[in-house]
Amino acid sequence: MTKDNCILGALGRRASKKELNVDQDSVQKPSVWDRDKCLFASLGQKLSRSEQKRNDIRNAASEIFITQGFEAASMDKIASLAGVSKRTVYSHFGSKEELFAHVITNFCDLKREELDIKPDHNLPLKECLVKLGTKFLHMLHYHGSVSLFRVLISQAEADPTHGIEFMNQGPKISREILAAYLEEKMAEGEIDVADPIEAGQSFYSMLFGARYLNCLVTGAPPPSPEEIDGIVESTVERFIYGLKVKE
């Protein structure tokens, strides 16, 4: 498995059937992965052999889940792609459902840590929201997010627990962080917000917009960095207008 197969590698490139339908003898071992580009990279920390295997299993699982869907994924495929035995996979994760839950939780944790999606208190309100919105949209459209959301949607009717976990670990925390920032600005007399939580929800909902929905359901290409800048700028302008910034 090369770095292009990792979620953070080729920004949306799907692995070919030939790459995914491999047997234990032909699969490339995790030692050749570019782990710095993988979803569950160690982030500079030296891992034990057991911890590295666990990371390799989660990386392989994320690739299988995203490219083949939850139902088509199997522990055999994940073990083969990770270069370990199925017994090793089960020694770390008791079931496919448990492994998928770990993929979701760690995805949310790593995105918050790597992208630092929280307000910058050293910036004026508008600049802070522009910076926050830009990071959020890049995360939303890249880094495997669209593919992961599609898998969650496909499972929503049969088993909504994974989607609920994602909402609690990702969007809910992001809203609460932004709401706390808006409360600070209210205390400083800069803005007037009736409900900071609802305001935070509105901000992220405005960023999602029709463009993201189109990418999600039609496979349309993501907006360019320049287009993202334009989306964020117009969103922040409208959002701040609604906050009744006090002169």
CATH no. for residue 195?
1.10.357.10
- Is residue 195 packed enough to be buried (19+ CB in 10 Å), middle (13-18) or exposed (0-12)? exposed
Selection from 194, 203, 152, 211 nearest residue 174 by Cα: 203
Residues 115 and 71 in one domain: no
171/79: higher pLDDT: 79
Q: Are residues 123 and 143 in the same domain?
A: yes
The larger pLDDT score, comparing residue 31 to residue 119, is at: 119
- Token pair of 89, please? 């996979």
Q: Are 151 and 89 in a shared domain? A: no
Report residue 54's pLDDT band, with 50, 70 and 90 as the boundaries: very high
CA distance 73 to 90: 15
Surface-to-core class of residue 114, CB atoms within 10 Å of its CB (0-12 exposed, 13-18 middle, 19+ buried): middle
Asked whether residue 129 falls in the same domain as residue 208, the answer is yes
Select from 94, 128, 163 the last residue of a domain: 94
Between the alpha carbon of residue 158 and those of residues 61, 98, 153, 183, the distances in Å are 20, 16, 10, 38
150 pLDDT band, cuts 50/70/90, is very high
CATH code of the domain covering residue 69: 1.10.10.60
Q: Are residues 79 and 154 in the same domain?
A: no
Range of the domain at 57: 47-94
Question: Do both 240 and 123 map to the same domain?
Answer: yes
Q: Residue 9 has what pLDDT?
A: 32
Hey, what long-range contacts does 206-212 have (CB within 8 A, 24 or more apart)? Answer: 206/235, 206/238, 206/239, 207/133, 207/136, 207/137, 207/140, 207/231, 207/232, 207/235, 208/140, 209/235, 212/140, 212/141
The 10s digit of each residue's pLDDT in 171-200 is 888 899 999 999 999 999 999 999 999 999
In this structure, the answer to whether residues 82 and 105 fall within a common structural domain is no
Convert the pLDDT of each residue in 99-145 to its tens digit: 999 999 888 887 777 667 678 888 999 999 999 999 999 988 876 88
Q: Evaluate whether residue 3 is within a structural domain.
A: no
pLDDT computed for residue 20 by the predictor: 34
Q: Give me 5's structure tokens.
A: 């197969």
Residues 100, 54 share a domain: no
Q: Which two tokens stand for residue 94?
A: 């008791």
Distance CA 73, CA 64 (A): 6
Looking at the fold, whether 105 and 186 belong to one and the same domain comes out as yes
Are both 54 and 127 inside the same structural domain?
A: no
If one counts the domains in the chain, the total is 2
Tell me the mean pLDDT in the region 84-90: 96
The burial of 35, by beta-carbon neighbours within 10 Å (0-12 exposed, 13-18 middle, 19 or more buried), is given as: buried
Residue 61 lies in a domain: yes
Instruction: Confirm whether 112 is domain-assigned.
Output: yes
Q: Do residues 80 and 124 both lie within one domain?
A: no
- Cα–Cα distance between 193 and 18 in angstroms, integer? 54
Q: What is the pLDDT of residues 194-247, one digit of tens each?
A: 999 999 999 999 999 888 999 999 989 999 999 999 999 999 999 999 887 666
